[in-house]
Chain A
Amino acid sequence: MYDSHLRKIFGSQTDQFRQSKVLMVGAGGIGCELLKDLLLMNYGEIHILDLDTIDLSNLNRQFLFRQKDIKKSKAMTAQQAVSHFNHASKLVAHHGNIMDTNMFPLSFFTQFDIIFNALDNLEARFYVNKIALFTKIPLIESGTSGLKGQVQPIYPYETECFACIPKEQPKTFPVCTIRSTPSKPIHCITWAKNFLFPQLFGDDVSDQDKLKPQDIESDNKAEIEALLKESNELLDLKVLVNQAAPGDKSFVSKIVEKIFKEDIERLLRIETLWKTREKPEPLRCEPATIERLDGQELWTVEENLALFIDSTSKIAQRLKQGPVDFDKDDEDTLDFVVSAANLRSYIFHIPMKTKFEIKQIAGNIIPAVATTNAIMAGFSALSSFHVFHATMKEKVSKSRMVYDSNQPTRFVNTSGLAPRNPKCPACSVTRGIITIDLSRFTIDELRKAIIDKYGYSDDIGIAEGTRLLYDYDFDDNLETKLDKVCSYGNVLFISDADDELDSLELLVDRGDDLELPELEVPAKMVPEENKEEEGEEDDLIMEGDDLIMESDINGLDGPKRKAEDSTSPVKKRKLVADEVEVIEL
Chain B
Amino acid sequence: MISKTLSEDEIKLYDRQIRLWGMEAQTRMRGSRVLVVNLTSVGCEVVKNLMLGGIGAITVIDSFKVLDQDLNANFFIDKTQVGQPKVLAAEARIKDLNPRVNLTVSTDDWQEKPEDYFLSYNLIVATGLDKTQLTRLNAITRKLKIPFYATGTHGLYGYIFVDLIEHESSVKYEKNPTPKKVGELSPTSEIVSITEVVENDVELQNCIVKTRFVPLSEIFINNYDKLKYYFPTPRKLKKISPVLPILLALLEIPSQIGKPIEDVAIDAKELESKVAEVVSRLKLPEEIIRPELVEKLAQQAFCEFQPVSAIIGGAVSQDLINMLGRRELPLNNFVVLDGFTNEMPIYTL
Contacts and interface: CB of A to CB of B under 8 A. Distances in A.
B342 A379 contact: yes
B258 interface: no
Nearest to B78: A84
A370 B52 contact: yes
A382 B307 contact: yes
A574 B304 CA distance: 54
A414 B261 CA distance: 31
Contacts of B132: none
Given A8-B261, A296-B23, A382-B339, A370 B53 contact: yes
A502 to B, nearest CB: 36
A330 to B, nearest CB: 14
A2 B69 contact: yes
B318 interface: yes
B286 interface: no
Contacts of B300: 8-9
Contacts of A84: 77-78, 93
A87 B155 contact: no
A372 B77 contact: no
Interface string B134-163: 000000000000000000000110000000
Given A8-B303, A61-B16, A412-B344, A87 B311 contact: no
Interface residues of A, number: 56
Contacts of B339: 382
A372 B261 CA distance: 30
B346 A368 contact: no
Contacts of A208: none
Given A57-B16, A370-B49, A378-B310, A412 B54 contact: no
B345 A4 contact: no
Contacts of B340: 398
A40 B309 CA distance: 11
Interface stretch (A299-307, A403-411, A511-519): A403-411
B310 A414 contact: no
Nearest to A374: B314
Contacts of B345: 409-411
B311 A375 contact: yes
Nearest to A29: B16
B342 A369 contact: no
Interface in B57-105: 68-79, 93, 96-98
Contacts of B235: none
Interface string A1-42: 111111011000000000000000000000001001100111
A381 B53 contact: no
A4 B76 CA distance: 18
A60 B305 contact: no
Given A37-B306, A370-B53, A408-B346, A365 B19 contact: yes
Contacts of A4: 68-69, 72, 260-262
Contact of A408 (B186, B261, B310, B315): B186
A224 interface: no
Contact of B341 (A2, A5, A66, A414): A414
A63 B48 contact: yes
B16 A37 contact: no
A374 B313 contact: yes
B49 A371 contact: yes
B1 interface: no
Interface string B308-326: 1111011101100100000
B16 A382 contact: no
A550 to B, nearest CB: 9
B314 A378 contact: yes
Interface stretch (B7-15, B109-117, B273-281): B7-15
B247 interface: no
Interface string A346-375: 000000000010001000011111111111
B122 interface: no
B299 interface: yes
Interface string A148-188: 00000000000000000000000000000000000000000
A420 interface: no
A146 interface: yes
A3 B155 CA distance: 13
Contacts of A82: 75
Interface stretch (B30-38, B176-184, B217-225, B329-337): B329-337
B229 to A, nearest CB: 10
Nearest to A11: B299
Interface in A79-123: 82, 84-85, 87
A8 B155 contact: yes
B108 to A, nearest CB: 26
B272 interface: no
Contacts of A8: 155, 261, 299-300, 303
Nearest to B296: A9
Contacts of A360: 19
A89 to B, nearest CB: 11
Contact of A377 (B19, B23, B310): B310
Given A382-B308, A382-B342, A9 B71 contact: no
A57 B71 contact: no
Contacts of B337: 411
A147 interface: yes
B69 A368 contact: no
A411 B13 contact: no
Contacts of A576: none
Name which of B186, B300, B311, B346 has the most chain A CB atoms within 10 A of its CB.
Answer: B311
Name which of A66, A146, A147, A374 has the most chain B CB atoms within 10 A of its CB.
Answer: A374
A9 B155 contact: yes
Name which of B13, B52, B339 has the most chain A CB atoms within 10 A of its CB.
Answer: B52
Contact of A85 (B52, B75, B156, B299): B75
A9 B337 CA distance: 15
A409 B241 CA distance: 12
A70 to B, nearest CB: 11
A146 B260 CA distance: 39
B13 to A, nearest CB: 6
A36 B336 CA distance: 23
A374 B307 CA distance: 9
Nearest to A8: B303
B72 A374 contact: no
A401 B233 CA distance: 28
A37 B303 CA distance: 15
Contact of B53 (A33, A42, A369): A369
A367 B69 contact: no
A2 B41 CA distance: 13
B45 interface: yes
B17 interface: yes
Q: Which 8 pairs, one residue from A and one from B, show the smallest C-beta to C-beta distance? A: A378-B310, A40-B306, A367-B20, A374-B314, A378-B311, A375-B314, A371-B318, A381-B307
29 contacts: A1-B68, A1-B69, A2-B79, A3-B72, A4-B72, A4-B260, A6-B72, A40-B306, A60-B53, A84-B77, A85-B77, A85-B78, A369-B17, A369-B20, A369-B318, A372-B314, A377-B310, A379-B342, A382-B307, A409-B230, A410-B343, A410-B344, A410-B346, A411-B335, A411-B345, A411-B346, A414-B341, A414-B342, A414-B344
Interface of A: 1-6, 8-9, 33, 36-37, 40-42, 56-57, 59-61, 63, 66, 82, 84-85, 87, 146-147, 296, 356, 360, 365-375, 377-379, 381-383, 398, 400, 402, 408-412, 414
Interface of B: 11-17, 19-20, 23, 45, 48-49, 52-54, 68-79, 93, 96-98, 155-156, 186, 230, 260-262, 299-300, 303-311, 313-315, 317-318, 321, 329, 331-332, 335, 337, 339-347
